Homo-oligomer: A and B are copies of this chain.
Amino acid sequence: MAATTDAEGTENAGGETLSATVIGASGFTGGELLRLLAGHPNFEVTQATSREYANKTLGSVHPNLRGLDLRFSEPSDLESVDVLFAATPHGVSMEHIDSFREAADTVVDLSADFRLDTEAEYDEWYDGHTCPEYLDDAVYALPELTREELPGADLIAAGGCNATATLLGLSPLFDAGILSGDEQIVVDVKVGSSEGGASPSKASSHVERSGIVRPYAPTGHRHEAEIEGILGTSVSFTAHAVDMVRGAAATCHVFPTSGASGGSEDSSSGVPDSPVSKGDLWKAYRGAYEDEPFVRLVAGGSGVYRYPEPKAVAGTNYAEVGFELDPSNERIVVFSAIDNLMKGSAGQAVHAANLALGVEETAGLEFEGLHPVGSP
């Protein structure tokens, strides 16, 4: 990789174009990676693999990419590039990680294969891990929380969609000492159909999936592991499928005074001496996000869009985060919304690659979204 010049590897090539491969390019997140990289000033996709669609045009699968000349190629024959994005189902990257790393100095994996810290966690939440020796190397990428670790990283695990929505909502409360980790935290997530991937099934057919509010992960969702890995505490997580294609909206219900610590920040005893105020919350969230290019605080106000809303960020790398205080029961309700394919996947991966390779953080991710918009 020629672009980096210092020990941290964070300097940009000053306009030099970096070559990129997308593995699993016919999938939903693969398609979004192709779109983002095609419009990115610093990257050029030189290879896009798909077993199923090898030799077909990108546009035959992704109609928005009809203008691109590239065709899908077989994943067996990887070119040498500056950065490789793996957008494959869980379990594939861990099998092929050696060939990925051979092909590129920087690998960004969009699956769950390198998100957790230890082999034991993969034994608990997945079917084990075939390549645990790389878990230590891998940097978890949710740039708002792990920005410092990304420059120069050569194996990046982009954070998952539901975990991203949840973590962006909750982490400022931990950072500000409003939550300590002893509280019960309920996370009720609503997601779109693109989270299910591109393989057709009866449950994902338009006929059966239209108009639903379907508890598809009532308990035990694997993103709990990812959230716990970052927050250091467990959450009670439930996901519902609703009638949209893109989007993940997390509603976190937390009770700051229910744990051992809480409320006001000057509490030295660990016992809250005053309830949390709305001012405390604004302070916590502004402190966390006011310099973040991809987080919008949306909490109340007038108009139609008073709280985070997936369709307001559809197609973009933005996250909206907001909150409300319920004084009667000392509850904080935190809302966050992302596009699961963007901030929850392909956008996050490009954001991380930008930071890892020292290019402009927001490059290729400037799309602001649409209004009005139906259900993107």
Q: A residues near B, CB below 8 A? A: 28, 31-32, 35, 38-39, 56, 60-67, 184, 186, 188, 190, 192-194, 196, 198, 200-215, 218-220, 224, 234, 236, 238, 240, 242-247, 249, 251, 253, 255, 258, 296, 298, 301-312, 314-316, 324-326, 328-329, 331, 333, 335, 337, 341, 366-376
Known: A201-B200, A206-B205, A218-B307. Contact between A374 and B372, CB under 8 A?
no
The reply to whether A190 and B213 form a contact with Cβ atoms under 8 Å apart is yes
Pick the contact of A324 from B60, B207, B215, B249 — CB < 8 Å?
B215
Residues of chain B contacted by A368 (CB below 8 angstroms):
35, 38-39, 64-65, 67
Q: Which residues of B contact A242 (CB under 8 A)?
A: 190, 213, 242-243
**Is there contact, CB below 8 Å, between B202 and A62?**
no
Q: Provide the bound-state CA to CA distance between A243 and B234, in Å.
A: 30
Q: How many copies does the complex hold?
A: 4
* A374 and B303 contact, CB distance less than 8 A: no
In the bound complex, residues from chain B placing their C-beta under 8 Å from that of A32 are 370
Are the CB atoms of A376 and B64 closer together than 8 Å?
Answer: no
Given contacts A258-B184, A309-B213, A244 and B374 within 8 Å (CB-CB): yes
CA distance A55 to B66 in the complex (A): 42
**Inside 8 A of A376's CB, which chain B residues have their CB?**
211, 314, 370, 373-376
Measured CA separation A73–B177 after assembly (Å)? 42
Quick check: B206 and A204 within 8 Å, CB to CB?
Answer: yes
Chain B nearest CB from A114 CB (Å) reads 23
Cα separation A202 to B245 with both chains bound (whole Å): 14
List B contacts of A62 (CB < 8 A): 371
Give the distance to chain B from A88, nearest Cβ to Cβ, in Å. Answer: 17
Nearest CB of B to A13, in Å? 22
Is B244 a contact of A243 with CB atoms below 8 Å? Answer: yes
Please name the residue on chain B nearest to A238 by beta carbon.
B333
Among B66, B211, B251, which residue has its beta carbon within 8 angstroms of that of A373?
A: B211
Chain B residues with Cβ under 8 A from A314's Cβ? Answer: 370, 373, 376
